[in-house]
Amino acid sequence: MIVLLRADASIAETREVEAALTRAGASCRRVRGPGRLALEVVGPYAPFDDATRARIVALGAVESLLQADDPSPRVTAAHGPVNVDTPSGVVAVGADEWTLMLGPCAVENEADLVAAAAAAQQAGARFLRGGAFKPRTSPYAFQGLGDEGLPLLRRVADAFGLGVVSEATSEAGVAAVAEHCELIQIGARTMSSTALLKAAARAGRPVLLKRGFGATVDEWLAAAEYLLDGGAPGVILCERGIRSFEPGTRATLDVGGLALAKLRTGLPVIADPSHAAGTRALVAPLALAALAAGADGLLVECHAEPGRARSDGPQALTPADVADLGRTLGRLAPALGRRAPKPLLCSNQTCQPTTTSSPRSSASPR
């Protein structure tokens, strides 16, 4: 943004405009042209709302505000929540109630998936997460069950009334993921694949878009713009940690970037503390930090026995850890003006949110 000053603006008037920009949370620098002075607003700063812009324009020294074209107009104009149809009803991601998506990093077998789904359901999750296709750094690492994993995810999720979120790793694989899953995940490794983004947008499902570990917030939102421009019925952003110099964690959870994304768009933003932590003990603290910064939910890895998980075992929560996290969210939610999800009551026919919770429930009473 450029604040163009009147040709006859005095130094005192210029300083008054600079002070107003500082109060608005922005820095600026003077740009001097032939017979004219302007102030360039430099980042980082939160987008100015209409009232702030009006106050600046009203200052006597200001001739006009020059705003660059918005590179992501659909993302800027978008607002949540994103409604997702699941077996237990419509889940409004980005509403007052936090949305939990829990499950193993990779789908390995039915017994472990059932155990993870049971823990997820009792903690208040509305989605079962799990990778049928796993892009791994090493070609010798477990790559997932592939096409066999998707119907297994669907069958187990249906038994617990949960929706399914799973990653599509190729254009050719989008249709199969869309067939079995309510949410198509685009992973951090493929966030910048424009062909994959376009294919996911055409699939007719909402998309969970993870931030690339080397992507800026602007690049993340540009990827979301591809999805919205391509016709995706909804986009949920997911902060999962960025690469930094710190070796003590797998990645650095960018809580500031999460909060900035919330200022830049009305799209829901959730956090994946598991991939940022890389170790089980850090998952819950990072989850709470993300929620305190405004996250609309969590994507968390859990496994029946993390010690024998074939993918990301050290960062996966145990069923007991998941229950503890659910209880903690129940205590935290009122302080943040949000609602923690209640566990679903399931029968063979249907699953519905509970209306009451006992002291032994995995989600504390509100």
pLDDT reported for residue 354: 57
Write the CA distances from 129 to 116, 117, 299, 307, integer angstroms. 10, 9, 8, 19
pLDDT exceeds cutoff 90 at 352: no
Report, as an integer, the average pLDDT of 157-174: 96
Find the CATH number of the domain harbouring 182. 3.20.20.70
pLDDT reported for residue 5: 94
- pLDDT tens-digit map of 92-108: 999 999 999 999 999 99
pLDDT reported for residue 134: 84
Amino acid making up residue 160: F
Indicate if 51 and 182 belong to the same structural domain.
Answer: no
Q: How far apart are CA 255 and CA 241, in angstroms?
A: 9
In this structure, is residue 364 part of a structural domain? no
Output DSSP code: residue 306.
G
Structure tokens at 306: 């993390």
Output DSSP code: residue 79.
B
Domain that holds residue 44: 2-68
In this structure, is residue 362 part of a structural domain? no
The model's pTM is 0.87
In this structure, is residue 24 part of a structural domain? yes
- pLDDT tens-digit map of 117-138: 999 999 999 999 999 998 878 8
pLDDT exceeds cutoff 60 at 348: no
Q: For the chain, how many structural domains are there in total? A: 2
Q: Residue for token digits 């994507």?
A: 299
